[in-house]
Amino acid sequence: MKKLGLVLGVLTMLAAQNLFAAMVTLSEIGVGNATGGGLFQAVTTDNGTFDTFCLSINTEFSPGTPYNYSVSPAIVYSPPPAGYPSTPPTYITYGAAYIYNQFLNGNATYGGTHDGTTVNNVQYTIWYLQGLLNPNYQDPRGYDYSSIVPTILLQLEADTHDTLAQLTANGNGAFGVEAMNLHDGIYQPQLIQVVPEPAALTAAALLLMLPLGASVQRILRKSRTA
């Protein structure tokens, strides 16, 4: 029981650190998007440094300014500005999760080589998959992406063997991709791929091993008394 309490205490401490010390600073990384989206570099206190894309349009933040943030499967908007074609979903779609995972793995088709044009086109496609563009591939500000997004969508359907309906459905945490929701007066969601911390994995493994250890101990006791 003491060991169980110790493991639970470790897990609680790790959770508390993530809850109260999560800060992020975003900066544009040389392939700036004329329409205000990513690519951005996120420098965080508890999830390292990684590249990310916007999950919102017209939600401004100040590059270089530290923000509190939380990671969640649910997207938090602030709220969506007027002009959206519909209320965007509060989940990461499967297509957006797939594109982001491929980007992080260096797939050039999805901007993994940091080619400026491709990266920008990927941002527009993520917006579309997240319901932020109308059926004609236009955003609320009047920008038109009809010459860009359909081409990437066709490649995406070919790579995943999924229909558009499947690609725009809830990804349910596919590839570990979730929303990094910035706070402090704004609610600007970004993409993040969640990787469990080694310490947390070790503590969880110990917790799972406790019942096995107890069983082995009972067997040894019976052997000695036999």
What pLDDT score does 14 carry?
A: 44
Cβ neighbours around 106 below 10 Å, total:
11
What pLDDT score does 222 carry?
A: 54
| Cα-trace Rg, the chain | 22
What pLDDT score does 186 carry?
A: 78
Contacts with 110 (C-beta within 8 Å, 6 or more apart), sequence order: 99, 102, 103, 118, 122, 152
What pLDDT score does 217 carry?
A: 56
What pLDDT score does 218 carry?
A: 57
Residue 225 φ then ψ, to 5°:
-90, -10
Chunk the chain into consecutive blocks of 10 residues (it has 226) and report each block's average pLDDT, rounded to whole numbers. Answer: 46 44 87 84 95 89 92 84 71 98 97 93 96 91 94 97 98 97 87 70 44 51 54
Plot region of 188 (φ>0 → left; ψ -120 to 50 → alpha; else → beta): beta
Enumerate the β-bridge partners of residue 200: none
Asked if 180 contacts 100 with a C-beta cutoff of 8 angstroms, the reply is no
Give every strand in the sheet of 40-44, ordered side by side: 49-52, 40-44, 23-28, 66-72, 177-182, 189-193
Gap between the Cα atoms of 46 and 122, Å rounded: 26
- Taking alpha carbons only, the member of 80, 87, 85 closest to residue 133 is 85
Asked if 177 contacts 73 with a C-beta cutoff of 8 angstroms, the reply is no
The first and second tokens of residue 18, run together, are 């993530």
